[in-house]
Amino acid sequence: MNELTGAVSSSLFYGTALGLMALAFTIIYTVSQVFNFAVGQFMILAALLTTAVRFTGNAVVNDLIAIVLVGAMGSATYLVALRWPETHGASPLTLVIITFGIGIVVEQVAVLAWGSYPLSEAPVLGGHFVLNGNYIPYQGLLLIAVAVVTVTGLGLLQRHTVVGKQLIALGGNRATARYYGINDLALVSVAWAISFAVLAVVGTLYLPLTGVAITTDLSYGVAAFAAAVIGGLGNPAGALSGGIIVAFVTNLTGVYVNPNITDTLTFALLFAFLVFRPGGLTGRAIELLGPRA
Amino acid sequence: MASWIAGWMAREHVRAARTDLAMAVVFAAVAVFTAGHGSAFATTTTINFGLFTLLTASLQVMLGFSNQASLTQAGIYGIGAYVAVYVEMKSGVAMPVALLASLAAGAVAGLLLALPLARLREHILAMGTLAVQVILSEAFIHLPGLTGGVNGEAVPDALINSVPVMVTICACAAGVIMALNHFRISRVGRQVLAVKADETMAASIGINVRLLRLVAVVVSFAVAAGAGCLFTETAGFISPDDFTLTSSLAVLVAVVLGGRSVTWGTLAGAAAYSVLNAETTSLPGLSDLLLGIMLVVVLGYLPSGLTGITLPGRWRR
């Protein structure tokens, strides 16, 4: 029982973090069909800003500053590196590789600035309680609560505000949306800012549980991608469930089967989904398949 | 009409031969200069350049000819390397036999992977191959019986920094680029390029799209695995660190950096990346930083790559 409780609680925390990252992935994918592979780097960058830079003495204020800053970096990233290629006919593959490049730049700058050694980040909510002999940190529960609020809030924003509906319209068909007078430059920048702010939430709330090391960026990024595909790209609730599924698969096989096969299993699952069920669990149709020859 | 086409084909072949000659001269010059320089650093750099050219050419077969992006090249390179070491250690066969075994292993991997990957296109294909690369990286680490695990595998009788091996690798690289050059204007090559231009159109004029895409994957993986075998001959030691997702990304970078030209693009991309890597060996972080900046700038703002800006029109192929 002890072992199971521990595995389940850590899977829930890790899964929520991955789910939020997959959500960030999905927000950008929905409006601009770009796979953003720099998610891991910016998530960790937010945590580095609160631990290594430490703007003020107050952890909550630091986290909020990091969330705003990283959100602004989201807009800046889009405007500087992706806007021009996207509007000048770059293929989706080119855009994906550009995001890989952005991720590498962020990682190396972070290493130059703060080194590659893991840092520990102060939690917003200290303390823990004991369940079946396992320490359950309050910070983890806070993460889950914030995740629920974020997903619900973004869902409401999408359905009930003009900006949300304009974002959906942009994702559906950008040219038509522009003919109807939607300012795509501003709105897509906003979407990137929201996405990066979600990443910063993960960095500031989840990484205190594990430690902050920029070198783990790519593994977080590809795990979040797996979560987004498994949950169904373009579906916020699917993203969260995809994250939970990936985390449970990873942790439970790690504890009960063999810790060496966890990544293999996750990526075998990703491969199987891409090939056989590209719409993910929720089955939302997306254009993944090319023309059948 | 027929004579016009025949004349045009002949001109194409003459041009192809000219490119062959230029490639031979470039690689011979590099090899002679390196041998004359004689330092271990120069030899290592040239060997890495030659191997990287082979990897870039292998991806060119998939991406440049049939528009199939792959992030698995380093993994397949690894399969070739481990197969070569395994075969040479267990049965003590000569290097050419090991090379054949590596080529065969790459081709088999291509056959096995091409079937499920045939359903994917463009960036989704890249993501599918990314999953394969991660699985291969994990397998290299967690199958110590076959690969030596994290600690890697020592290569018996490897010739580290040897000039003859350097020359062999340069010759192989030049040969593979020449082969690409002739494939481009061959009947099958033109069919593959037609598939790249428009699959539906290609299928409608009777081209077997599925078969050609499969062949491209098989050839590409065989070349990458063969390069892996050559790598073991010079390495003395191989470990999972040599075959990571980052290495696969570097190969993809070299191809897009080189640009649209299949021959000169391969050379330019591989050379640019190798020079950058060699110049920054003492500062590994800096080489990655430059790699990232190059990716963003070249892909974002120079979509036709290095050869797109520097080569006059008639060389762009």
Residues 6 or more apart in contact with residue A133 via CB below 8 angstroms: A2, A5
- What DSSP character marks residue A214? G
Helix (H/G/I), strand (E/B), else coil: A7? helix
Residue B76 pLDDT more than 60?
yes
Q: How far apart are CA B215 and CA B220, in angstroms?
A: 8
Asked whether residue B287 is assigned to any structural domain, the reply reads: no
User: Which of chain B's residues have a Cβ under 8 Å away from the Cβ of A105?
Assistant: 289, 292-293, 296
Residue-by-residue DSSP string for A38-77: THHHHHHHHHHIIIII--SS-HHHHHHHHHHHHHHHHHHH
pLDDT single digits (tens) A193-202: 999 999 999 9
State the pTM of this model. 0.87
- Return the pLDDT at B162: 84
Q: Is residue A285 part of a domain?
A: no
A100: which chain B residues are within 8 Å (Cβ-Cβ)?
249, 295
pLDDT at B308: 62
Domain presence at residue B317 = no
Contacts of B289 in chain A (CB under 8 A): 104-105, 108-109, 112
Closest alpha carbon within chain A to B292:
A101
Asked whether residue B53 is assigned to any structural domain, the reply reads yes
The CATH number linked to A42 is 1.10.3470
Chain A hits for B211, Cβ within 8 Å? none
Backbone angles phi, psi at A173, to 5 degrees: -160, 105
- Is residue B300 a part of any domain in this protein? no
CA B230 vs CA A200, B70, B152, B165: distances in Å: 45, 21, 17, 9
Give the Å distances, CA to CA, from A224 to A101, A214, B302: 18, 16, 30
* CB neighbourhood size of A87 (10 A): 11
Range of the domain at A224: 2-276
Nearest to A81 among B117, B119, B296 (CB): B296
- Greatest alpha-carbon pair distance for chain B in Å reads 64
**Are the beta carbons of B300 and A270 separated by less than 8 Å?**
no
Beta B153-154 vs B237-238: how paired, if at all? Answer: antiparallel
pLDDT band at A135 (very low <50, low <70, confident <90, very high): confident
Helical packing angle, B122-142 and A92-114, nearest 10°: 50
Q: What is the pLDDT of residues B186-221, one digit of tens each?
A: 888 889 888 888 888 999 999 999 999 999 999 999
Instruction: Using an 8 Å CB-CB cutoff, list chain A residues near B200.
Output: 291, 293
Q: How many domains does chain A have?
A: 1
The answer to whether the CB atoms of A264 and B138 lie below 8 A apart is yes
Q: What is the pLDDT of chain A when averaged over all its residues?
A: 86
Q: Which two tokens stand for residue A284?
A: 């939302």
Residue B128 located in a structural domain: yes
Q: What letter would DSSP give residue B155?
A: P
Please tell me if residue B204 touches chain A, with a CB cutoff of 8 Å. Answer: no
**A292 assigned to some structural domain:** no
Q: Quote the number of domains for chain B.
A: 1
CB nearest to A274's CB, from B120, B209, B288: B120
Cβ-defined contact of B293 to A101 (cutoff 8 Å): yes
Say which range, A116-120, A245-249, B48-52, B244-248, has the weakest mean pLDDT. A116-120
The nearest alpha carbon in chain B to A279 belongs to B124
Q: Does A79 touch chain B (CB under 8 A)?
A: no
* Contact status of B314 with chain A (Cβ, < 8 Å): no
The span from the CA of A19 to the CA of A229, in Å, is: 11
ipTM, interface predicted TM-score of the complex: 0.84
A·B CB contacts under 8 A = 136
Q: Could you tell me if residue A79 is inside a domain?
A: yes
Asked whether residue A232 is domain-assigned, the answer is yes
Domain containing residue B27 = 2-244
Distance CA A82, CA A101 (A): 11
Asked if the Cβ–Cβ distance from B292 to A101 is below 8 Å, we say: yes
